Amino acid sequence: MSWFRRPVKPKSPKLDADLLRRIRSEFDRSSADEEHFPSSIDPRIYHVRLILDHLGDLNGRRVGDIGCGKGRFARVLAGHNPGAWIVGIDLSAAMLGWVKPPLAACMATMTALPLAGGSLDAVYATESLEHAVEIDAAVSEMCRVLKPGGRLVIIDKNVGHWGRFRTPDWEKWFRREELEELLRRHCRTVRSRYISYWEDVEPDGLFLAWMAEK
């Protein structure tokens, strides 16, 4: 497929080989933990609804789940859009072992996506950007592979609630304005809001959703 390409190594990487190995190893181990890293998700939760609503009809389109884990969001999207081509991208081979056809699976980091520029119609990242380490590079890559007019969703955690959970030392949470600024470098429209797991539950400020159009 001509729109795949070789990953390009960042010119000034902050994510060194040792840290990358450590992160990959951690997620390989976590793939066996179905309690904390489940392979399915309730399709009624608002994270799912927001992605479906913002990305729209995906039939006949190419979609990237960036940092897909076991592909739980991708499976829901495929169920709603059986004519879509959806690729789950993750750095953990063990996590990708759960990603089965009709989904495609690809092992890569978020900072070096093995896709040609403008090859995807839609991109989303759910609680995965926090593990990218090189946040600017990861956002840039997600926008690079998106077509003009394509849509993007990032769902992640608010740094104002840092400390609520035990987290690995590489993890990063975000200010609302921080990701808006990064996305505006590449996208013509950007908006964000606080969200909850359930539509009828008032957001407590932990989760933020950023929605953009290139």
pLDDT tens profile 41-59: 999 999 999 999 999 999 9
Q: Write out the two tokens for 181.
A: 């600024």
Taking 50 as the threshold, does the pLDDT of residue 110 lie above it?
yes
Cα angle: 203, vertex 137, 96; to 5 degrees:
75
Q: Which residue carries 């998106």 as its tokens? A: 146
pLDDT tens profile 112-135: 999 999 999 999 999 999 999 999
Query: pTM of the full predicted structure?
Result: 0.93
Per-residue confidence (pLDDT) for residue 22, from 0 to 100: 96
Mean pLDDT of 28-47: 96
**Interatomic CA distance for residues 183 and 113, integer angstroms:** 17
Per-residue confidence (pLDDT) for residue 51, from 0 to 100: 98
pLDDT tier at 9 (50, 70, 90 boundaries)?
A: very low
Per-residue confidence (pLDDT) for residue 99, from 0 to 100: 98
More confident residue, 13 or 129: 129
Rounded to the nearest integer, the mean pLDDT of the chain is 94
DSSP characters over the chain: -TTB-PPPPPSS-SS-HHHHHHHHHHHHHHTT-TTTS-S---TTSHHHHHHHHHH---TT-EEEEET-TTTHHHHHHHHH-TT-EEEEEES-HHHHTT--TTSEEEE--TTS-SB-TT-EEEEEEES-GGG-S-HHHHHHHHHHTEEEEEEEEEEEEBGGGTTSS---TT---B-HHHHHHHHHTT-SEEEEEEE-SSTTS---SSEEEEEEE-
CB 155 within 8 A of CB 207: yes
Domains of the chain in start order, with CATH, are: 17-29+39-213 (3.40.50.150)
Q: Write out the two tokens for 98.
A: 């759960």
pLDDT tens profile 61-78: 999 999 999 999 999 999
Nearest one of 166, 167, 123, 180 to 147, comparing CA atoms: 123
pLDDT tier at 11 (50, 70, 90 boundaries)?
A: very low
pLDDT tier at 136 (50, 70, 90 boundaries)?
A: very high
Taking 80 as the threshold, does the pLDDT of residue 13 lie above it?
no
Taking 50 as the threshold, does the pLDDT of residue 1 lie above it?
no
Mean pLDDT of 156-181: 96
pLDDT tier at 14 (50, 70, 90 boundaries)?
A: confident
